[in-house]
Amino acid sequence: MKNIIIVLTLSLFCISCERNGFDIENPDVARFVQQIKNGTYDNYELGENGQKLWTKMPHFKTKHIPTLLNLANDTMSVCPCDHFPLNPISSIPPYRINNGKECIMIGEYLLWCVEGIIEGNTFASLTPIIQSQNKEVGVRLNGMEVLHVRTLYQNWWQTHGEVGNNVLPLEGTIYHWR
């Protein structure tokens, strides 16, 4: 009897665990962000021979929007950024160059994740780059501007609080996704 209980317990433990402890179908947003920051996010689409093709975006849902918006107050740049889930069909590098290294700003990236949820897509656009009509093409928003865009998303969420209402957070503003 004791052996049966041990076997059942171990079986349940193994069944409930993901390879890296991250459930891409029901993601923990805070854990995802922590893995992105420390470079340990490693959910990849694999090729026929098991080779890593690209990182997979967690299946974020509407219920994840408040946490994503809360964590989007982080203007930290993460370098290197080869472990971020990005749109695999994009050939445009989404990186910022910071001290000669390719980086991605966490807040801008998380807002891109929110936009994807709102639009009902895995990816909101080809790249996680917010553009402003007041800047030349290719000039990136600074941290304060990304935080302003975050406020636009927060206001949208407080006003609309749902997805599919045909009003987008950046509608009528000078900002858009590239």
Does residue 9 form part of some domain? Answer: no
Contact, 107 vs 73, CB < 8 A? yes
Does residue 107 form part of some domain? Answer: yes
Q: Which two tokens stand for residue 82?
A: 């080869």
Does residue 169 form part of some domain? Answer: yes
Can you list the residues of the chain whose pLDDT is less than 70?
Answer: 1-20, 162-165
End-to-end CA distance of the chain: 61
Does residue 30 form part of some domain? Answer: yes
Task: Give pLDDT tens digits for 61-113.
Answer: 999 999 999 999 999 999 988 889 998 898 887 788 888 888 999 999 999 99
Amino acid at 148: H
Contact, 31 vs 41, CB < 8 A? no
Answering whether pTM is above 0.75, one says yes
The count of structural domains within the chain is: 1
Does residue 3 form part of some domain? Answer: no
Q: What residue numbers bound the domain in which 47 lies?
A: 24-177
Does residue 16 form part of some domain? Answer: no
Does residue 88 form part of some domain? Answer: yes
Rounded to whole angstroms, the Cα distance separating 95 from 63 reads 28
Task: Calculate the average pLDDT of the chain.
Answer: 86
Distances (CA, A) of 128 to 17, 109, 123, 144: 30, 6, 9, 17
**82 secondary structure, DSSP code:** T
Report the percentage of the chain scoring pLDDT > 70: 87
Rounded to whole angstroms, the Cα distance separating 170 from 178 reads 12
Contact, 174 vs 145, CB < 8 A? no
pLDDT at 164: 59
Does residue 18 form part of some domain? Answer: no
pLDDT at 98: 82
